Amino acid sequence: MLKLNRSVPFHLAINRHVASDGGLLHQKECKSVSLRYGLVTTVILLSLTYPPRTRYSSTMISRLAVLIAASALAASCQTKPPNNIEAKHFYWSETTAHELNYEHTIATANELSLPERDKLLAFMLNRFQNPPNAHDEAMFGDISAVQLRKLAADTRIEFVDLNGAGDKEIIAQGNGLGPCGGTGNCIVMVLQSTPTGWKTLLDTHVQFNGGFEKIRLLDTSTNGYRDIVVAAHDSACERTALVLGYDEEQYRERECYHINWCTAGGTARLPKPEIGACAK
């Protein structure tokens, strides 16, 4: 139920209600807010249309304008998908993003039973043995079978419940030359366990022809799965960050940002990074 705090300016109270769940109102709430503001606005308009010698103050006229605007705003949010909560602003923090733990791998993770470990190792080894494109062929082509098996076993993993279903998905990140390049950008994968085996929800080598150094899970979600940011190390001053959303089949790029920490020429460090959309 909408409650306006009288100690807060009228238009700010409305805005805070509309953004109360961290983003857009759900469709049911939108209809409710739209109906209530529409009824109130109608009543005030009728009273202004037929005034019994009443003089209306500037405050009342101002509030009427806000009510009309709020009605339009509440109605407009009905057109937004109710399942998606979209971040209105992108920001980047090195402290909230991370590389996966080099000590927590397919070979060492205590969360895996022996059969689960063997199946996951076989899946990752098969992925490395069968490069899907020219980029991967160049990365894995000269690596021996023994070394490929070690690289598969050393793949870093993290267990995260991305869809709230209780069964945790696996975020995997490469470890060593082949899965990783010389700048520390590594293949990032998201895997989901199914009755028929592992399903790939994300493979950055396949989808983006490259790897990423850091990963950040967002509080926002798309189609029931948490959004993910992957960030590549471009230089000492720059990163490229992709915001990924789930499209009911796999994770796909939703937004791309260029992050820069240095002044022109790289002579000094900026107190806050400059963030802009990637060039198309």
Q: What average pLDDT score do residues 24-48 get? A: 42
Condensed to tens digits (0 to 9), the pLDDT of residues 241-255 reads 999 999 989 999 999
Do 203 and 187 form a contact (C-beta atoms < 8 A)?
yes
- AA letter at 79: T
Contacts of 209 (CB under 8 A, 6+ apart): 133, 135
Strands 238-246, 251-262: parallel, antiparallel or unpaired by DSSP? antiparallel
Token pair in block for residue 183 = 């700048």
What's the rounded Cα separation, in Å, for the pair 186 and 173? 6
| Token pair of 252 as six digits | 């796909």
Is 147 strand, coil or helix? Answer: helix
For residue 60, give Cα distances in angstroms to 9, 19, 41. Answer: 14, 25, 12
Using only C-alpha atoms, what is the Rg of the chain? 26
Percent of the chain scoring above 90 in pLDDT = 55
SS3 category, 172: strand
Q: What local confidence, expressed as pLDDT, does residue 210 receive?
A: 92
- β-strand partners of 262: 269
State the pLDDT at residue 141. Answer: 84
For residues 191 and 106, give the distance between their C-alpha atoms in angstroms, rounded to a whole number: 13
Quick one: 126 exposed, middle or buried, by C-beta within 10 A (0-12, 13-18, 19+)? exposed
What pLDDT is attached to residue 37?
Answer: 43
Please report, for residues 100, 156, 211, the alpha-carbon distance to residue 186 in angstroms, rounded to integers and kept in the order given: 10, 10, 4
Mean pLDDT over 33-61 rounds to 47
pLDDT digits (tens, 9 = 90+) for 121-174: 999 999 999 999 888 898 888 899 999 999 999 999 999 999 999 999 999 999
pLDDT at 86: 38
Q: Is the pLDDT score of 175 beyond 50?
A: yes
Token pair belonging to 106: 């397919």
- C-alpha 193/C-alpha 15 separation (Å) is 41
Is 161 in contact with 170 (CB distance < 8 Å)?
A: no
What's the pLDDT score for residue 91? 84
Chain segment 71-123, per-residue pLDDT in tens: 444 444 433 333 334 335 788 888 899 999 999 999 999 999 999 999 999 99
What pLDDT, on a 0 to 100 scale, did the predictor assign at position 5?
A: 38
Phi, psi of 126 (to 5 degrees): -65, -40
Contact 189, 171 (CB under 8 A): yes
